[in-house]
A and B are shown apart, each in its own frame.
Chain A
Amino acid sequence: MSGSEDRSRRGPLLVLPAAAWLVVFFVLPLLLVLVISFVERGRAGGVRTPLVPTIDYYVRLFDPLYIGIFLKSVRIALLVTVVCVLTGYPLGVFIGRAPARLRSSLMMLVMIPFWTNFLVRTYAMKQLLAAEGGVNGLLLGIGLIQEPLSLIFNEFSVVLGLVYGYLPFAVLPMYASIEKFDLSLMEAASDLGANLRRAFLRIMLPLTLPGVVAAVVLVFVPVVGAFITPDIMGGGKVEMIGTLINRQFGVARNWPFGSAMSLALMLMVVVGVIYYFRAADEGARPL
């Protein structure tokens, strides 16, 4: 192995096993989704054979019902992202300002949920809000209410569950940026006459922006296509793109329509992320 400009055959050989695996079990399946989205469905799942080409499923995506579900998913994902960033950023600052020996323990407290099974955490939240659950038990117990409140299976419980699930994803990158930021710069700014708000907007925010940018992507992307949380916390009453796609492969048995939806979701996410990174890049430059 000599020099990084080595043009021997060894590079391709080292890469070959993983490349083969990913081409067969990742790239080909994605291409198949594309193909299937353009053919007619079979009666009991699968596709009609011989294949009958159609663009019906893409036309159907523009039905107000489905447009509405896409828009609702984006709205929920934006709301969850905003809540996670607005609460996670100050938490990052708090941990960044804590004494050095406390910092790793505090970050540990953020990491533990991150490493905990997602279903277990979603269940913990469901159990708290359920009709026979903790919050209702407490309120009934102190006599504040006579009937259990319906706190679950609505958009609020889905948003709460998603924030609960993805908040650690927002804190980690923002903390990484904040930790590198030299807090004495804020003092310097205030010595030079800037008030706290101005110092934050002009100095701290621009310098920690990469963390915020990463946090937004790490929360928005999984949330917009989420399945588990809307399914468990929504109880079939809150439809998002993820639950809609899942239904096409379950009870609705409409694989081509599910494929078209999946591609629409993927396109939205990938184009959105590229556009967003470009915008974030430009936003950071003049400052």
Chain B
Amino acid sequence: MSSPARAPSSGLALRLGKAGLAVNALGIFAFLYVPILILIVFSFNDTRTVARMTGLSLQWYARLFVNRELLAAARNSLLIAFTSTVVATVLGTLTALGMDRFRFRLRKTFDTVLYLPIVIPEIVMGISLLLFFNLAFFPVIRFMSGASLTLGLWTILIGHIAFNIPFVYVIVRARLVGFDRTLEEAARDLGADEWRTFWRVTFPLLLPGILGGALMAFTLSLDDFLVTVFTAGTASPTMPLYIYSLVRRGVTPEINALSTVLLLASMGLIVLSLAAQRRE
């Protein structure tokens, strides 16, 4: 608000502002990465401490590969992530096409239902599924067929598909917004039937959106803790449940080694997603 000596003072303010921006950026990147870097460094420590390096060793990594519990958790996680991604990607893509191209009753209502799982707190979705399976679904099945079911991998899978469908839907739908329908008309004019038009024209154009949605679904599923913990029951943990149980117990270089492996895996996923985007 002090305007008389405007030119020099605003020049100084500008320079201070730029320096401030750089310091802030440096601070944030340090804040984000120092804990991760320290985590990686201590995964190579040769004693149990994570306070100071006493020597280099790969023993914590070696232990990971003979830890049966861990390997089972990794297998469960990958199985659920892969299956829920495939199912949610197919259902989400079909839904995006149906919602984008057709008008029908209850369409607006369903649109709201599709956005709800993204907005409501995840813990609410978790406990709602716990209540549903235990107090409604299992009793109904028992009543109808006599089979007594319990929570397990398959209930986790059902929950993951439910929260993944909306994310795939939103991403594919966004891709459909700028879609040039005249390309499909051209294909039809040239004699392609509807099926052929879909696979030769529509699908390839939608593919980046579909892949983006699938990747999102895969990552969300691999990462999920809250829906999983309430639908898992007593047996068969996934990777996040296993890590959680370790982290609750304390801090050890073994968790550091496991975390480092997972970090590398997610970096791999990022590289994949960038490669997919390049194809656009």
Is A181 an interface residue when CB atoms closer than 8 A count as contact?
no
Q: Is there contact, CB below 8 Å, between B103 and A14?
A: no
Which one, A17, A30, A127, A222, contacts B251 given CB within 8 A? A127
Q: Is there contact, CB below 8 Å, between A32 and B22?
A: no
Q: Is there contact, CB below 8 Å, between A134 and B162?
A: no
Counting chain B residues whose Cβ lies within 8 A of the other chain, the interface size class is: 35 or more
For B111-122 the 0/1 string (1 means CB < 8 A from A) is 001101101111
Cα A242 to Cα B166 in complex, Å, equals 23
Q: Is there contact, CB below 8 Å, between A115 and B248?
A: no
Q: Is there contact, CB below 8 Å, between A94 and B21?
A: yes
CB-nearest residue of chain B to A263 = B124
Q: Is there contact, CB below 8 Å, between B42 and A127?
A: yes
Which one, A21, A111, A117, contacts B222 given CB within 8 A? A117
Q: Is there contact, CB below 8 Å, between A115 and B269?
A: yes
Is B194 an interface residue when CB atoms closer than 8 A count as contact?
yes
Is A99 an interface residue when CB atoms closer than 8 A count as contact?
no
The interface on chain A, measured as residues whose beta carbon lies within 8 A of the other chain's beta carbons, has a size of: 96
A94/B25 contact (C-beta < 8 A), A246-B123, A269-B121 known: yes
Q: Is there contact, CB below 8 Å, between B270 and A111?
A: yes
Q: Is there contact, CB below 8 Å, between A115 and B270?
A: yes
A22/B121 contact (C-beta < 8 A), A28-B132, A94-B24, A195-B6 known: no
User: What is the count of residue pairs linking A and B with beta-carbon distances less than 8 angstroms?
Assistant: 280
For B87-104 the 0/1 string (1 means CB < 8 A from A) is 000011011011111111
CB neighbours (8 Å) of B266 from chain A are 112, 115-117
Is B158 an interface residue when CB atoms closer than 8 A count as contact?
yes
Cα A142 to Cα B127 in complex, Å, equals 48
CB neighbours (8 Å) of A120 from chain B are 39, 243, 259, 262-263
Is A7 an interface residue when CB atoms closer than 8 A count as contact?
yes
Cα A169 to Cα B18 in complex, Å, equals 24
A120-149 interface with B by 8 A CB criterion:
120-128, 130, 132-134, 136-137, 140-141
Is A8 an interface residue when CB atoms closer than 8 A count as contact?
yes
Cα A14 to Cα B110 in complex, Å, equals 13
Cα A258 to Cα B134 in complex, Å, equals 15
Is A76 an interface residue when CB atoms closer than 8 A count as contact?
no
Which one, B29, B103, B123, B223, contacts A225 given CB within 8 A? B123
Which one, A29, A111, A117, contacts B128 given CB within 8 A? A29
Q: Is there contact, CB below 8 Å, between A21 and B91?
A: yes
Which one, B114, B119, B129, contacts A22 given CB within 8 A? B114
CB neighbours (8 Å) of B33 from chain A are 109
CB neighbours (8 Å) of B169 from chain A are 18
Is A90 an interface residue when CB atoms closer than 8 A count as contact?
yes
A18/B123 contact (C-beta < 8 A), A93-B21, A136-B51, A196-B10 known: no
Is A215 an interface residue when CB atoms closer than 8 A count as contact?
no
CB neighbours (8 Å) of B159 from chain A are 25
- Shortest beta-carbon distance from B129 to chain A in Å: 5
Q: Is there contact, CB below 8 Å, between B39 and A123?
A: yes
When A and B form their complex, which 9 residue pairs have the shortest distance between CB atoms, in order from nearest?
Answer: A11-B102, A137-B51, A14-B98, A225-B121, A29-B128, A29-B132, A124-B35, A15-B98, A18-B91
- Extra pairs beyond A17-B91, A30-B128 (11, CB < 8 Å): A29-B125, A46-B134, A117-B240, A117-B259, A128-B35, A132-B51, A137-B51, A168-B32, A242-B123, A245-B127, A259-B127
